[in-house]
Amino acid sequence: MRKFNFLLTDDEEMALLGLEEGVDWEKLNADKIFKCHSKDTAIRMLKTYDIDIIITDIEMPGGNGIELIRWVHDNKPDIKSVFYTGHAEFVYAQEALRLGVEDYLLKPVPYDELENIIEKIENRILLEDKQIVFSELVDDSLCESSDRIVDRVKKLIADNLSIGSLQRDELAAMVHVSSGYLGRIFKKETGFAISDYIVKKRVSVAKQLLSKTSLSITDVSSRVGFSYSSYFTKTFKEQTGMTPQEYRQKNKL
């Protein structure tokens, strides 16, 4: 039976404990339940562990849940998201829908309702898994080789790098294969997940723009597909060990 990994994010330990003890995780076929207290820690865990569903509070110090869900949307689009909040503000719901959040709840979290939401998400994941298996059987019969498909996707990424949300589903549709199949052959051919490859490509092009042009950091950020220059700076430093400004000063031609 398919098992699922969860990440629970809340800056309040008692809230995490409530989720851990209040939800019937065994009924929900949970394999591992990870917990953390901040957006930055959540992102590190999402990069490290194979997470299926993230459940997060919105109000957290040092970066809120919306920023976390935005990172998931841009970098790990296959992960399903649910958020909860103590404030019934329309702007939260509006942003959540834009980012593809599955559902959201108001505090105090009604555990039975959360369980129902999770069950629906899991059923959707199971259906997607079946579709992937079927599509792979079809895709394997295609004449075009996997390396040619990957080369085409690399070119699509390079040509559309300024688009902020390059999604695997969209790329797969452009080369007429299933999303799951594309993810597998891309990883096999390049050693990278598509989302990780896109990040590295954005940073690589940003390096060239920083060293060879006088574009502002904000303009460079926009040209390589980052909606927020602050997020660009953070990602760039994670990848290179330097801020964009530090890199420019060191490598300006």
- Cross-sheet strand order for the sheet of 103-106: 30-36, 4-9, 53-57, 80-85, 103-106
Max CA distance (Å), the chain: 60
Helix (H) or strand (E) holding 9: strand 4-9
| pLDDT by position in tens, the chain (length 253) | 789 999 999 988 998 999 999 999 999 999 999 999 988 899 989 888 889 999 988 877 777 778 888 888 888 888 998 888 876 665 666 677 777 788 888 888 899 999 999 999 999 889 888 877 776 666 565 546 888 899 999 999 998 888 767 788 889 888 888 888 888 889 989 999 898 899 999 999 999 999 999 999 999 999 998 878 888 999 999 999 999 999 999 987 6
Task: Report the alpha-carbon distance of residue 237 to residue 246 in Å, rounded.
Answer: 9
Q: Single out the residue of 58, 57, 34, 37 nearest to residue 46, CA to CA.
A: 34
Phi, psi of 83 (to 5 degrees): -125, 160
What is the structure's pLDDT at 138? Answer: 65
Which residues are 9's β-sheet partners?
36, 56
pLDDT value of position 89: 64
The tally of CA atoms less than 13 A away on the side-chain side of residue 1 is 10
Name residue, tokens 């709840």.
Answer: 105
**Domains, the chain, ranges and CATH?**
4-132 (3.40.50.2300), 144-253 (1.10.10.60)
> Whose structure tokens read 């930055």?
40
Q: What is the pTM of this model?
A: 0.57
